[in-house]
Structure 1
C-alpha cells in the first residue's frame, strides 16, 4: 500500500477520461485516502467511467459545476479537503473552433471559481489548512507549435496558444500562477502531452480510429496526416501527478511527456496493423465485429480517408520531461508498444462502454 500526506481529495472532472483514470489509480494505491469527485456530466463526463467505484466507502460523487463557487466551498469544508486536483475542462479543439464560449466559461471562469473557493476556505477562514494543495492539470498545447527541428517544449517556453481551447487553458494556467504569487495559495501545475488509454472519449484520434475500424467506417485524416504528437499512456500521466502532489515544489510547473513522438498517419497505420493481426489470430473478434474489414480478410488501411485540414492545426507538439524526471524520478512505466496493446484490447473487450456513447445498439 502506498503512503501519501494527501488524505482528502476533491477531483474535478473525474467522470472524464484522464480524471477517471486518476481516481482509479489513486484509490488503488492509497487505500486510506478519501476522494470526492465533482463533475458536471457534460458530453465528455460519463458515470460509467467510475461506476465500479460506487461501492468504495472512500469514494463520493457529486454532480455539480466548477463555476458554482459556493458549492466548492461547501465541499471543501464538509469533506475536510486538503487537496484539489483540477481536471475539469473543455478539451476538444474542433469544438473550441465552432463554439468557443463553453471553453471560456469552463476553462477560465471555472478555474477562477475554484481558486476563489480554495483561497476563501484554506487561506482566509479561521479553519484554514497550511498543508493544502491546488494542482492544476494543463496541456502542452499552451506552448503553441514546433517545427521538426525545434527542441521539445520546456517549462520555460513562452506561451503561444493557437486555438480557443489552448488559449483558454493558457489563461487558466496564468490564474493559478497568480493565486500562488499574490495570495500564497499552495499550487502546482502540470502540462501534459497527448494521453491515450482506457475510457478515452470516441471523438479523439485513437479511440475514433479504433471504433471506426471495428464498424468498417472511414478513418478521417486531417490534411496530410503528418502532424506530430507526443503520446503518453494515461496511467503514466497519473503517476506523474502523484509524484508532483507528494514531492513537487510549490508554485512549479512540470511537463509530463512520453518521449514518444508519432505522426497522426503513422498512429493510424499502426492501429490498422494491430487490428489486422489480432483479427487474424482470433475468430471471436471476427464474429463480434463482422463489419470490420479485417473480419473479411481485407486490410483495415483501406478505410483511411484524407479530409480538409482543420483551422489553426498545430504541426507538432513534443514535451521535454527532463525536469520531472530529474527532480521527482519520474519515468513512464509503459512503452508505446505495451500501452497501445492494452488500449486496443480494452476497446475490443469493452464495446458496451463506447457503443453507449456512440448510441449504437
Structure 2
C-alpha cells in the first residue's frame, strides 16, 4: 500500500480525504496539520493508529517536513493545507500569504530535495498533488462559459491571489525541476465536518438556533457546489491516473444562487427540525455585501470526466440533505469547534454590517 503525506489533513476537505483513504485502504497516511482554528482532530477520532500517523506542525517548517519525508518515505504528497476563507483574507491577508504562498513554497522545496534523492524508479512513480480552488480564475457573468483548465487567472480576493501564487509555484517546480506535480482546482465544497464559518454550515447552525441567516448583497451570487466525498474521490483518481504536470478542474455541476441554497436549507430544516411558531425562512436577512465579491463561479470538469472517467455522484439536493442530517446528528462535534475565537470572528464579520430583514 502507498504511503502518502497529507498536509492539512485535519481541516474540512483534508479530514474527509484522510478518512476515506484509511477506511477504504487507499493508502497509509501521515497527516501533518498546524491545528489552526479550522482544524479539528475530532473529525478523525474513529481512525486507529495502524496505517495512520498524526504530526502537529506547519508546512512552512522546512526542517520538520524534511524529517517527515525522510522518516516515512512517502510515495506522494497531497497538499490540502491552506487558509481558505475569503472574508478572513480581507481582514488579515498576511496569514494567507504566510501559509498559502510561503508555506507552499517551503513544502515544494522540501519535497524537491527528497524526490531528487529517490531511486529513478521511485522518482518516476512519486507525485506531488496540490489542491486548489476555482477562485483563482476570477468571476463570471451569467452568460460566460464555465472555467476551464486553460482559463486565464484573474484572482479578485487576497485568498484567491494567494492560491493563484501557489498554483504557479507548483507549475514552475514541474517545468524547472521536473518534480512530478498535479494540480486540482475545485468548486465550492460542502458536506460533513465543515467549519461553520462557511455558508452552508453557518446557515444550518444559525437556523437551528433561531439566529439570523445573513445573505450578502442581493443573494444572487452563483456558486457551483461539490459534495466533499465526490471531491475526495476525484483527488484520489487524479493521484493514481492523472498526467504529470497537468491541472484538473473538479466541479459538482450544481450551480446555485446563495439565496436558493439558503432557501433549500430552510425547507429541509422545516421538515427535519420544525419550529412550532415560525418557518426557518423568516430568519433570512440581507447584509452589506463583502468587498470584491465575485458574482459567479462555474467549473467545466469535462477534462477529468473525459480523461479519467470521473463524475460527481451527488446532486445538490441529495448532498445537502446528507449534510444537514450529519450536522443534526453530530452536535458534540459542532460544539467542539465553536470556540471563543470563532464567536469573536462572527461578531467582527457580521454584527458591523447593515442588516435588512426580508
- TM (norm. structure 1) is 0.92
Moved more, 73-82 or 208-217: 73-82
Where does residue 263 of structure 1 map in the other structure? 257
Moved more, 213-222 or 351-360: 351-360
Q: Distance in 2 between matches of 1:262 and 1:56?
A: 40
Where does residue 208 of structure 2 map in the other structure? 214
Where does residue 284 of structure 1 map in the other structure? none
Where structure 1 has 5 or more consecutive residues not aligned to the other structure, the ranges are 1-5, 280-293
Q: CA deviation at 1:47?
A: 1.0
Where does residue 286 of structure 1 map in the other structure? none
Where does residue 287 of structure 1 map in the other structure? none
Where does residue 344 of structure 2 map in the other structure? none
Where does residue 351 of structure 2 map in the other structure? none
Where does residue 345 of structure 2 map in the other structure? none
The partner residue of 1:116 within 109, 115, 118 is 109
The partner residue of 1:296 within 276, 287, 290 is 276
Q: CA deviation at 1:125?
A: 6.1
Where structure 2 has 5 or more consecutive residues not aligned to the other structure, the ranges are 341-358
The partner residue of 2:24 within 10, 22, 29 is 29
Where does residue 72 of structure 1 map in the other structure? 65
The 5 A counterparts of 1:90-105 are: 90-105=83-98
Moved more, 6-15 or 22-31: 22-31
1:351 aligns to 2:331 (yes or no) = yes
Where does residue 241 of structure 1 map in the other structure? 235
| CA deviations over 1:192-246 (Å, ceiling 9, x no partner) | 0000001000000000000000100000000001000000100000011011011
| CA deviations over 1:143-164 (Å, ceiling 9, x no partner) | 0000000000000000000000
The 5 A counterparts of 1:10-21 are: 10-21=5-16
Q: Distance in 2 between matches of 1:301 and 1:125?
A: 58
Where does residue 323 of structure 1 map in the other structure? 303
In structure 2, the CA distance between the partners of 1:69 and 1:154, relative to structure 1 (3 Å rule), is: same
Q: Secondary structure at the match of 2:285?
A: strand
| CA deviations over 1:264-289 (Å, ceiling 9, x no partner) | 0000000000000123xxxxxxxxxx
RMSD of aligned residue pairs (Cα, Å): 1.3
Q: CA deviation at 1:295?
A: 2.2
Moved more, 226-235 or 119-128: 119-128
Q: Secondary structure at the match of 2:256?
A: strand
Q: Distance in 2 between matches of 1:305 and 1:313?
A: 18
The partner residue of 2:288 within 291, 308, 313 is 308
Q: Secondary structure at the match of 1:195?
A: strand
Q: Distance in 1 between matches of 2:96 and 2:79?
A: 15
